[in-house]
Amino acid sequence: MGKVRLAFAAAAIIAACGKGETGNGSGAYDVILKHGWVVDGSGNPRYRGDVALRGDRIAAVGFLAGAQARETLDVAGLVVSPGFIDMMGQSEINALIDNRVFSKITQGITTEVTGEGGSVAPLTDQLVLDDSDAMKKWHYREDWRDLDGYFAQLAKQGAALNIATFVGATQVRLAVVGKANRAPTAAELERMTALVDTLMEQGALGLWSALEYAPASYSKTDELIALAKAARRHGGIYASHMRNEGVRIDDALNELFQIARDAEIPAEVSHLKVSGRKSWGQMPRIVARIDSARAAGLDVTADQYPYTRAATALDASIPSWAESGGWDSLLARLRDPATRARLHDEMVNPKATESFYYEAGGGDGVLITGTFQDSLRYLQGKTVGEIAAQRHRDPVETLFDIVLAEHGHRTDAVYAVMSEPDVQTALKTWWVAVNTDFGGVAPDGPFGTQSAHPRAYGTFARILGHYARDLKLFPLEFAVRKMTALAAQRVGLSDRGLLKAGMAADITVFDPVTVADKATFEQPHQPSVGFAYVFVNGQKVLDHGRLTAARPGRGLRGPGYVPPGARGTK
Ligand SMILES: [Zn+2]
């Protein structure tokens, strides 16, 4: 009884200071989820209990017999957990184009973290101009230049889920240095760090690099350390798609450790993997290396998606030096026979850099999933090997032909680069969180005609169903902790990730018996099943597989956020 009274007291305090709450403040709740299995995100064993919401907050958790609410939902037999946090969401633009963010909500995701290398800010007039074809094709407008501006646009258009973002190291470089393969001057580096300072004050979570891709691959370690120090001044962390994920992954880890040490910043290995057949079986050793670094005092963690195939751009197969100067330069190099021959040779006999093409075992391991040009749509769903065979042409030459035919636009591809035992080793690791690494899509939305990677729809359900329940790789509670509290704590979203009075009312309710992923590489646009309800900021966005009309998602600010009126005072 004392517990309940305390919960009411806490709820009353929150109601008193909360804004825009819909509760009547007299002790009744807006929603009660009754008789569920509470899996609270801490990793503790589930228990039978009720969860009450008022306004956008969790008002009480536990034994709430007799409590009244506007809406009571009997969730007996179902798991009630904090809403899932996608550590690499990629929906910052997708959400503006289709604010349902359907593939995310239907697998229980309520917050996504985004900004891998490229981010919504900073934007310059030139960078916006570079996006003009994409804006025309997908019907959106980049009217903002900074993070305040992006969040304002997001609020205006609404979204089903919350979005938090890093500032991309690539984005800062693009804004100041452009696409050239050179180091920034001292003055440029000063402008870059100032941009990081500004965006951290506007609520970025930290600095995120994607070093395998041009022009980020032109960044040297000292440049990244300088930017990471700026992020850390505001409480941010450093995340990285590392420079190498295959035979040179140790060099890449060394660089990440050095940045963590020299900038005194927590570091996150993004989509942890060992890529390429030559490296398969290395994951236990890589996990052990990170454990040793942690034991030696570095704050290093990781996240991953639960599939053996990666998805990225087709041109990512081409050595990144060829993209110096941007798309036009790449296309000119592919048209020059001597340069083209040299690129061909480096892709089949990689020396300095690793090639997705090589790591996928050649053209048969590279599946085309999305073309920008409608005239090339017939290539979707075919491997580069299949297309080459049909054309009686060499597969590398075929890949070059496709890149040229896109006229400087991105072709999406899926690469078979990982082994299942390595994926499972990472999944079982307690400091590895979860990401989809795929923007929100919907079968009946604008992206429904593009192909996709099954991780877009299936990631979280696959871990709960396939790996936790069916393969018994770990308890459900372990899986939920990875998807909630671990992620929230890592990026500094201090009022999310746990089912506790006072926390934001982001809640996912699913059936542990039926939760499952349905998306496959052949049929990726299949929503996951087994999700009864999803609440975002106290509002129901999913009801038994169907999206509601609510779009309560918000732009979430990181630990360094300073409200506009208080900036520049320290
Ligand atoms: Zn990546």
Same domain flag for 329 and 269: no
Same domain flag for 250 and 382: no
Same domain flag for 328 and 354: yes
Q: Is residue 567 part of a domain?
A: no
437 close to 305: Cβ distance less than 8 angstroms: yes
**Where in the sequence is the domain holding 245, given as residue range(s)?**
84-309+418-437
**pLDDT of 24:** 40
Q: Is residue 565 part of a domain?
A: no
Q: Is residue 498 part of a domain?
A: yes
Q: Say how many Å lie between the CA of residue 304 and the centre of ligand 1.
A: 10
Percentage of residues in the chain having pLDDT higher than 90: 88
Tokens of 448: 């429904």
* Terminal CA-CA length for the chain: 47
| Order of strands across the sheet that contains 162-165 | 84-86, 109-114, 162-165
Same domain flag for 320 and 286: no
240 close to 267: Cβ distance less than 8 angstroms: yes
Same domain flag for 291 and 433: yes
Q: Say how many Å lie between the CA of residue 486 and the centre of ligand 1.
A: 20
How many CB atoms sit inside 10 A of residue 79's CB? 24
Same domain flag for 218 and 88: yes
Q: Is residue 564 part of a domain?
A: no
**pLDDT of 27:** 66
Q: Say how many Å lie between the CA of residue 270 and the centre of ligand 1.
A: 7
How many CB atoms sit inside 10 A of residue 235's CB? 16
Q: Say how many Å lie between the CA of residue 98 and the centre of ligand 1.
A: 23
Q: Say how many Å lie between the CA of residue 4 and the centre of ligand 1.
A: 46
Q: Say how many Å lie between the CA of residue 80 and the centre of ligand 1.
A: 31
Q: Say how many Å lie between the CA of residue 116 and the centre of ligand 1.
A: 7
Q: Is residue 60 part of a domain?
A: yes
Same domain flag for 166 and 280: yes
Nearest to 304 by CA among 395, 437, 150, 199: 437
Q: Say how many Å lie between the CA of residue 529 and the centre of ligand 1.
A: 27
**pLDDT of 18:** 37
555 close to 156: Cβ distance less than 8 angstroms: no
Q: Is residue 453 part of a domain?
A: yes
Same domain flag for 75 and 95: no
Same domain flag for 491 and 354: no
Sign of CA pseudo-dihedral 241, 125, 141, 368? negative
Same domain flag for 240 and 124: yes
Q: Say how many Å lie between the CA of residue 213 and the centre of ligand 1.
A: 9
**pLDDT of 355:** 82
Q: Say how many Å lie between the CA of residue 359 and the centre of ligand 1.
A: 15
Q: Is residue 484 part of a domain?
A: yes
Q: Say how many Å lie between the CA of residue 10 and the centre of ligand 1.
A: 42
- 3-state SS, residue 46: coil
Bond before 122 cis per omega within 30 degrees:
yes
**pLDDT of 12:** 41
Q: Say how many Å lie between the CA of residue 119 and the centre of ligand 1.
A: 13
Q: Say how many Å lie between the CA of residue 154 and the centre of ligand 1.
A: 24
Our CA dihedral for 131, 136, 137, 142, rounded to 10 degrees, sits at: 50
Bond before 215 cis per omega within 30 degrees:
yes
**pLDDT of 569:** 55
Q: Say how many Å lie between the CA of residue 231 and the centre of ligand 1.
A: 20
Q: Say how many Å lie between the CA of residue 437 and the centre of ligand 1.
A: 7
Weakly modelled stretches of the chain, pLDDT under 70 = 1-27, 352-353, 569-570
Same domain flag for 116 and 190: yes
Q: Say how many Å lie between the CA of residue 312 and the centre of ligand 1.
A: 7
Q: Say how many Å lie between the CA of residue 117 and the centre of ligand 1.
A: 8
State the total domains in the chain. Answer: 3
Same domain flag for 391 and 407: yes
